[in-house]
Structure formats: structure tokens, C-alpha cells
Amino acid sequence: MHNKTVNLPLFPLSIFLLPGGITRLRIFEARYLKMVSLATSNGGFIICPDVDNKSEQLAIWGSLVEIINFDQGEDGVLEIDVKCKTLVQVNQVEQNKEKLHFAAAVPIKHWAENESSAPIPLLMDSLKSLVESNELLKDLYEHNLQLNPYWIVARWIELLPIPFDVKNSFIYESTYIEAEKLVSSIIAEQL
């Protein structure tokens, strides 16, 4: 998906996911089971941050995700692990008769997609510790941890309990340098 507009299903959800991020979703509504079916044949779906937690005000951007794992929870509910491929600008949102939203999606280049080998040991070590101490994160990231500082800072922005509007500023306005400074100050304060 290189600067090409495509029409994809939307999943309104209060999750902040940057390129390279992985999360587990529990899917039980019929319309979202249909979305998963469509996503497997059409290259994914968009997790669009649900700004008001009521699916009435969606963000103007979303995370284009691909399904990397299917499973069934102990309660029989479908669980899927998804990985963010890229961020997209969300345009022309429409709803079908099953109340499933679709949107035209245009890729947004984001700093989290950059590569570097510059070490940031404090952030990497603290992220490793967090992953090892949290069963869900360990399951999702144990074999996916990267040394790339852009990747590490993006994971921290996703995981830290900071307000949505602060996280949202790292989509368009704020740079990697500002994100790294914020994350480093929070982690240093906790240690």
C-alpha cells in the first residue's frame, strides 16, 4: 500500500497502535467476525481510535493491521493477534447494512517505520523487563523484540498510560526526538 487509496473495513476501538505494534483482539460481534473474514482476503483492516468510546467520533487516522494469529479463548471467543503495517489517513467513512464501517485509506509515513542501530539501553532494558513480567506482552513480543530505537520508542508510546491527546500528537505534529524525550523522562522518573 504505497500512496494508493484503498477501501477497507474499520474497527472503532480505543487502542493506540503504531507501525510494528502488535495487540490481541477478542472478536465476538457478527459484523466484526465478517470484518475478520474480509481482512483475511483483502489485506487487513483499520483500527480507528474511538475518540469518545462510543464509535460516534472516530479519529482521522487509523492503524492498518494484518492478522498474524488466530486462536480461541477459553470462553470460546475468537482471539486474533494483529500487527500494524502502517498508519493511514481515514477518509469517506461509510456504513453497510450490517453496520460495518468502511473507509478510504491513504498511507501516512511515520517515524516508527524508520530503521536505526543507535542504542538506547535504558529504554530497551526497561521494555524487555516489562515484556518479561507481563504474560500477554510476553506472548505477543517475546520473539519480536527489536533493537531499533524507533521501534522501541513506538512501543513505549503505545504502552505508557499517557492521555490520548498526547499520544495523538505523535501521529502528525511531534517528532521521534520529542517522543524519545518524553518516554525517557517517564522511564527515568520511574527508576
Strands (E), 36-150: 45-49, 61-72, 78-95, 101-108
Rounded to 5°, the CA angle 7-10-12 comes to: 160
| pLDDT tens digit sequence for 132-189 | 999 999 999 977 788 899 999 999 999 999 998 899 999 987 889 999 999 999 999 8
Range 117-127 average pLDDT: 91
pLDDT of residue 76: 87
The residue-averaged pLDDT of 105-120 equals 90
Structural domains in the chain, sorted by start: 6-109 (2.30.130.40), 112-190 (1.20.58)
Q: How far apart are alpha carbons 10 and 94 in whole angstroms? A: 10
CA distance 86 to 83: 9
Tell me how far apart the alpha carbons of residues 177 and 44 are, in angstroms, rounded to a whole number.
30
